A and B are shown apart, each in its own frame.
Chain A
Amino acid sequence: MDFLHASDPVTGEFFGFSVFPDSPWQAAHEAEGHTVIQSPIKPEPRTHFNYLGGVLTPKIEVLLVTDKAEIAADGVAEAVVAVAVAGKEKPANIGLLVAGTVETLNLTNGHGVLAPITAETPCSVEVAILDTITYWGGPVGIEAVEHG
């Protein structure tokens, strides 16, 4: 059985697959300028693949772990997020989103630790991967709560 794969030829983002040729799904993707090709492969889960270089490729897994899921919102308590990138070829750095702000973290053999996170007010802090086309994993959340 063949499947249809839809991807962005520019970014390499993989949108998913269909089993129905000449369907509204195919027409919608082609109208967006996406590439739709036939393939015997059923790539699941969809979120773990990309079409970088025009080839179906598994995304690289990134593990985000925090030492504290909850901290006091007192500007003193800290949470630390550790990052580990899987695969044989380890990148020298990786882009992350810390509460929506871009941060580039240098890695050593695919591992790194973000600067400590503190909160001055109650809020939710999310640390996520910036490039979700090349990588998959996370995000990790830290809740800053009223102390005392």
Chain B
Amino acid sequence: MASIKAKKAEKNKAKVKKQADKFVVRDPSSLKAVYAELEAANFSGKQEAALKAIFAALVD
């Protein structure tokens, strides 16, 4: 049980990347991040793949 809780906590942690000499942090499970992924997918025509990836990350 402890390892499952730890895994869930890890999943919900903010993700950080370094770009242009700045740390850019985002919570991939936040609605804002989900909307951004969907918007990007609409432009690339990859809506289905994006939706699958988003919901897999949210429910796991």
Chain A residues engaging chain B, CB cutoff 8 angstroms: 73, 75, 78, 98-101, 103, 114-125, 144, 146
- Contact at A121–B26, with CB atoms within 8 Å? yes
A146 to B10, CA, bound (A): 22
For the A-B complex, the count of residue pairs with Cβ-Cβ distances under 8 Å equals 62
Q: Is the interface of A mostly helix, strand, loop or mixed?
A: loop
Contacts of A98 in B (CB 8 A): 16, 23
Which of A103, A144, A146 touches B25 (beta carbons < 8 Å)?
A144
- Tally of chain B residues near chain A (CB < 8 A): 16
Contacts of A116 in B (CB 8 A): 21-23
A117 to B21, CA, bound (A): 9
Query: How many Å from the CB of B11 to the closest CB on chain A?
Result: 12
Which of A100, A114, A120, A146 touches B24 (beta carbons < 8 Å)?
A120
